[in-house]
Each structure stands twice: as C-alpha cells, then as structure tokens.
Amino acid sequence: MRRPRKLSRRFGDLLDSEDFDDLDVLEDDDDDDDDEEFFNLCLSKPSSASSGIYSDGPLREFRQRVLIKNGQWLLHPDRFSRVQLGRYELIRCVGHGGMGAVFLGYDPELDRFVAVKMLEDELPEDHGDLRREARILAKLGHPNVIAVYDMGEHEGRPYLVMDFVQGLNAHRWLREESPSWRRILAVFIEVARGLSAAHDAGVVHNDLKPENVLVGFDGRVRVVDFGLAASAATKGQCGTWTYMAPESLAGRPRDARSDQFSFCVMLYEALYAQRPFHAKTAPAQYVAHCVGELQPGSTLYADLPKQVRALLVEGLAFDPEERHESMAALADALESFLVEPKPPRQVLIHVLGSLVLLVIGLSFSCERIERGHASFDEIASLAKKGVTVDRLTALSLEMARDGRGERALSTLNEAKGRAERISELRVVAKAADQVGLALYDAGEWEQSAISHLIARECHLESNNLAEEARSLELYLMSEKAAKSQF
C-alpha cells in the first residue's frame, strides 16, 4: 500500500512543488504519525538559517533530490540510500550561491563528515586550471586554508570534497560574537597567513569576501573557495564587486595584490562599521577607487590605534604597486598591534583578591547543588551570580548520574539561557547529550528525550549540523524507549 498523501503533501509544501512521486514509494505502516513528527524534526531549521536552501537558485532540482532521498533513508535506512557522489553520501544542502551549492556529506570509508561543493556550470573543455589549483590546495596543508580532499564530476558538473568546518562565516561571526578589535585583528591575521601561503604556491583567491572566511568552533580560521570560482568561470566577471580591486572591476589581470585589496576592504568594514568605498553599482565603485573617496567610518573601539587605518589605506591604493609588498608583510604589521602592555602590579593584586573572594562564594553555592540541597531558585540565581556555563553543565551531568534528572534538566536550561556565544552553546549541547545518555541508562527515558532535544536546539542555534543529526537520532531512541513502556 502507498503511504497516505499527507506525508507527501508535507514535502510538496516544503519544496513549493505539487508532485513528488518518489515519496509515495514508502509503504504504509502503523507509525505514520511518528514518521510525520520525525520529518518535522528533521527538516526544521533555525530562523537565522531558514532562507534560501529550498528557494530558486543553482542546482534546485538536485537539492530537492538530496532532500527527498535523505528523508527516505532516515525513515527506512535498510531499504533506501542517500544520493551518492562517488563514495560520498549527500545528507543535506547547507548553502548555495551564484556559482553552485554546498552539501553536508558523509565519507563512509573514512567515517567522517565532509563538505561537497558542486559548481553550477558544466566543466569547460579546457579545465586544466581548475584541476591544477585543486591539486595545489590539496598539497598546501596550511591551517588557514580549507583542506581539499577530492575532486570529481557528476552529470557534467565538477564537485570538490573539502573539510567540513563547524563554525560561522566572518559576516555572521562579527554580528553574533561582537568581538573586540584585538580579536578581529587576530582572526584577520590568520586570513592573511592563509592568503600568503596560497600566493606563495601560485594561487590567487579572486573572490575574497566575508562569506568565504570561516571562523571554526575550534577557534581556527579558514579561507574557502580559493581561486576555484575564477578558474571554473568560462565568461563574464568573476567576484563580488563590493570587495573587488579596481583592476578586477576594469577587467585587467589580477594577482596577489588584488586579494590584498579585498582583504583590506573586509577588515576596514569589520573595524569601522562600513566599507571604505560607498557606491551602489560597480562602475560607481570604480570611480570612487579612482578619486580615492574613502569613507571616514566610525569605530566602537575607542582604543583602536590610528595606525591600523593607515595600514589599511595603503592596502587600498588604486595602483597595485603602491600597496603592501605582500600579505605576509601586512600580517606582520598588523600583528604588532596585538602586544598588550602589562598592567600595574597594584591592579593585578586587586583583581586577584576579588577573584579569590568570588571563587570562595561560588564554591559554597556549587557545593550545595552537588549535595542536592539547592532549590531550583538557587540554581537560577547561581547563573546570575556568575557561575560559568562550563560549571553549570558539569553540575547537570553529575546530577543526572546521581539520579536527579529534574534538577539536571533545570540546570541545563539555565546553562542554555546563559550561553551568549556560539562556543558556549556547543558546550551546552555536548553536555545535554551526555546528560541524556546518563538518564537513558537510568531508565528515565522521557527526561532523556528532553535532554537530547535541548542538545538539538543548541546545535541548530549554533549551526552545528553534523552534531544536530546525532542528537536527533538520540532523541528518537529515547522517545521510542519511553513509548514502549506503556
């Protein structure tokens, strides 16, 4: 028998399409309601990332096929398989743009998640440059350049298999983390080091912009789409004009100094809250470059040295010959501003004394929680007093192992509410899955399911898609166990 149409309509509405017959190959069973709830969970996305994945754009039909096949596999992995590219399984589309789409993939041979970028255009007859640059990047092995593992072709379109980085692009990182100017410089210095290594190997990026810089949750910065978009383009202007150097806008040959110009536009925007050249079109941008109309900008960082702006202005020179000698030279100059002066001895004594008093007070409060004497109100007040997210999550795990499930969940929720940074959300998510497993072993399956849902929410909010899939599987395991006891 065919599965009821309501499940097919669920997908049809999502994909803005009226007919997806592939969904009807699933047989009917008694768990139809559970399956629909399962799909709702699988396909839900945080509001910040909800735009674009299923809308018009490159490879729309292919992205739809990946979604459908993954949904079938999630329901019946013994009967269905995901979309395959060589040995790689495609799980979901995580983004798309003018040049193609990026998918979260899985490599079963090496048991790891990967990022698979498929280009929209078919391979040109002479695509030697694309393969050459892919080989160079694969051999480069620089910590600040995305690792390239493999390259292939599917239905005439090239695809690249790369390291799947859990993190945020530079644009989202600046918006969500609100870093200090020193942290911004540190991140962009890593970008400059990656660019310098690629330039030394003979590869130019050609499309440097915030979306092509990833700040990983592991703290490492990586530059992506290195030179590959330009090599794959067969005609027209390649790049994002708001970040392009004047020689790129004019269609003249580009080199490493063009990347330096784009880098300085990005860093200027990050520090001064606007791009150095204000224009609404590419021609107007070129005119602004010619006359040197730099926007003064305003910074929130009162202690930002004025010499930083002078370095960026030099990198934004119209004539490439007047820019910095290399990205390495610019990185060295920026790094000199990260040496912080030592505070006076009296200040250190005062700070250490205050920290000692704070630790004594918090240790007493934490001890009450560990012994089970603290009320839920006391747990909530601890977060307000300054107990770290790390400490709260550690306490929740201890409670779960001691059989105090409700208190563990309450402490987890307090930790989640206190998490202000992406890195803190990841800490809470990891702890919530550990708490869920501990509660599952104790037979508290309903509480275990709630804990895994907390983990999944944190993974979604932090855009940690690979771990979100694991938390979803753990939730379904706990939910199934909870239903089986009735």
DSSP output for 57-103: STTHHHHHHHHHHHHHHHH-TTT---EEETTEEEEEEEEE-SSEEEE
Provide the angle, in degrees to the nearest 10, between the axes of the packed helices 306-315 and 256-272: 150
Q: Across the chain, what does the average pLDDT equal?
A: 76
pLDDT in tens, 19-38: 333 433 333 344 444 444 44
Active site (catalytic) residues? 207
| Domain boundaries along the sequence of the chain | 5-120, 167-338, 345-484
Pick from 102-116, 345-359, 365-379, 455-469: least confident: 365-379
Residue 43, H or E segment: helix 32-43
Per CATH, is 345-484 categorized as 1.10.287?
no
Measured between its terminal Cα atoms, the distance across the chain in Å is: 28
Joined together, the tokens standing for residue 456 give 């999944």
DSSP output for 143-178: TTBPPEEEEEEETTEEEEEEE---EEEHHHHHHHH-
Query: What is the model's pLDDT at position 55?
Result: 54
Of the chain, the percentage scoring pLDDT greater than 90 comes to 26
Residue that the structure tokens 């079109």 belong to = 281
Asked if the model's pLDDT at residue 150 lies above 60, the reply is yes
Average pLDDT over residues 261-273: 94
Q: Label residue 353 by pLDDT band (50, 70, 90).
A: low
pLDDT in tens, 372-394: 444 445 444 544 445 688 888 88
Nearest to 166 by CA among 97, 227, 119, 104: 104
Question: Thinking of the domain 167-338, which architecture would CATH place it in?
Answer: Orthogonal Bundle (1.10)
168 or 350, which is more confident: 168
Q: How many CB atoms lie within 10 A of CB 174?
A: 20
pLDDT in tens, 428-485: 999 999 999 989 888 888 889 899 989 988 888 877 777 887 788 888 888 878 877 6
Question: What's the pTM?
Answer: 0.65
Asked if the model's pLDDT at residue 312 lies above 50, the reply is yes
Query: What is the model's pLDDT at position 31?
Result: 46
Nearest to 311 by CA among 332, 284, 285, 280: 332
Can you tell me the distance from the alpha carbon of 276 to that of 298, in angstroms, rounded to the nearest whole number?
11
CB-count burial class (<10 Å; 0-12, 13-18, 19+) for 251: exposed
Can you tell me the distance from the alpha carbon of 36 to that of 23, in angstroms, rounded to the nearest whole number?
12
> Phi first, then psi: what are they for 322, rounded to 5°?
-90, 0
Average pLDDT over residues 335-354: 63
Q: Tell me the one-letter amino acid at 19.
A: D
